Every structure is written in C-alpha cells, then in structure tokens.
Amino acid sequence: MSYCDDKSWVICDKLDGFELSNEILGKYPHEFQSLGTLYTGLDWLYRNVRCIEEAAKKRLGPCLGYYYPLVNHPLLKDLPLLLVECNFHWYAVSVCNFVRLIGWIGFIEHKSLKKPKEYVETVLPEVFSWRNKIAAHFVQTFSADDKRDSEIEKEFSVVPQIGYAEGSFQAASISISNDGNTNSSDTLKNWSLTKVHEGLLSRYVLPLAKK
C-alpha cells in the first residue's frame, strides 16, 4: 500500500507551529511511506493496549496509587500482560522513529526548527529515554567500561517494566535495592502508551490510519 498517492496526508505540529504539506511530503517519497507505515503500526499498537487496558480498568478501577508488577495481580491473570509489555517495547522504538522523521523533514524544510534528535527529545522525553535504555537495547548488555549509564539503570533495564496507575498501563520508574541501598533512575520516568499516543493526536494534525 502506497501512502505517496494519498493527497489527504498533511502533518501539522500545532505546538511547534509548522506544517508538512502534502506537497512537501511528496518530495520525500521513501520517508513519506515510512511515516505512513509507522503511523498505521502505532495506531494498531495503541488500539491493542487500550482494549486490554479497558478490561483491566473495569477490574482495578482508577487505582490512584501504583501497582507493580502487573503479572502478579490475581484479577488480571487471564489478560495477555506479557504482550502488553512487548507492545510498549515496539511502540517506543516506532514512535521515536516516527517523531524523529517528522523532525528531520521539518528541519530541512523549516531551518528555524530544532534538529531531529533535539526535536524527538522535546516531544517524547520519557519515551526517548526508555527507548534508548530499554526498548532499543538493554543497557545491561553494554560493556562494563561504558560509564554512560549507572549500575542501577543497567539492572533496571532488564526487570519487568509494566505497572498500572491512574487507569492506564505505565512503563515503570522503580526503585531497586542494590547492595542494601535503594536508588532510582533519574532519567527513566513513568509513561503511559495510551496517553502518549493520545497526546500525539492532540499535538499533530494527522490523517486517519489505514486499516
């Protein structure tokens, strides 16, 4: 399925105040197709997680505190919670590619905009950190000589990630006890897949995803 022939495609960032018109997108056919493909996949992941999230919400209520780990909750044993965690991994990588590509085209066409990496860090700060330290590659697997990440972040990257709070599944920001000392990551914060996706739909003017 080709998106390049779809004249309805216009991407408008209402917060940063720029637009990628259909004419502009047409100058980047491969990037245009990638944006359409990623957007369709992101919408699919969002709908999957939202469906399971709604089932959990009916059983747990709004849950203003934080429940972790989900896989141990007796009321949720029949829900595919391991797939929810996989969806977070897939979503984080794909949404960062999607937003960064928008930022790249925008930077070329509108020189006053942020550079692509700075743009995605601004739009998706929590997701971008989680993608870099967990979803794209576990920092636990990096060389011991690599000092960019703390030992607590390395250990944290491979523990189960998804909890539940305020009516949504959330990637966790958890304190871990290490050698008797409890620490928490300064760079890994909670984020909700469904709320992030709905935030993108508020930030951008986008066409409907193809089914």
**Of the candidates 55, 40, 42, 44, the residue with the CA atom closest to the CA atom of residue 168:** 55
Q: Tell whether omega for the bond before 69 is within 30 degrees of 0, i.e. cis.
A: yes
What integer pLDDT is reported at residue 182 of this predicted model? 45
Contact by Cβ (8 Å): 39, 209 = yes
Lowest mean pLDDT among 68-72, 166-170, 193-197: 68-72
The pair phi, psi for residue 8, each rounded to 5°, is -80, -10
Mean predicted confidence (pLDDT) in 104-120: 91
Residues 19-24, mean pLDDT to the nearest whole number: 91
Model confidence band, residue 166 (pLDDT cutoffs 50, 70, 90): confident
Query: Distance between terminal CA atoms of the chain?
Result: 11
Section 98-110 average pLDDT: 95
Whole-number Å distance between alpha carbons of 62 and 127 = 23
Q: How far out from the chain centre does Cα 57 lie?
A: 21
Between helices 29-60 and 81-109, what is the axis angle to 10°? 140
pLDDT tens string 113-145: 889 999 999 999 999 988 888 877 877 776 666
Residue pLDDT, tens place only, 146-161: 666 666 777 676 676 7
Cα–Cα dist 102/10, whole Å? 11
Structure tokens at 88: 């977070």
Segment among 155-159, 181-185, 202-206 with least mean pLDDT? 181-185
Flag whether pLDDT at 89 surpasses 50: yes
Of 74-83, 85-94, 104-113, highest mean pLDDT: 85-94
Answer whether residue 180 shows pLDDT above 50.
Answer: no
Q: What is the DSSP string of the chain?
A: --STT-TT--EEETTTTEEE-HHHHTT-HHHHHHHHHHHHHHHHHHHHHHHHHHHHHHHH-S-SS-B--GGG-GGGTTS-HHHHHHHHHHHHHHHHHHHHHHHHHHHHH-TTSPPHHHHHHHH-HHHHHHIIIIIS--GGGS-TT--SS-HHHHHHTTS--EEEETTEEEE----EEETTEEE--SS---B-HHHHHHHHHHHEE-PPPP-
Backbone φ and ψ for 14, nearest 5 degrees, come out as -75, -20
Instruction: Say what the pTM is.
Output: 0.85
**All structural domains of the chain with their residue ranges:** 11-205
pLDDT band at 191 (very low <50, low <70, confident <90, very high): very high
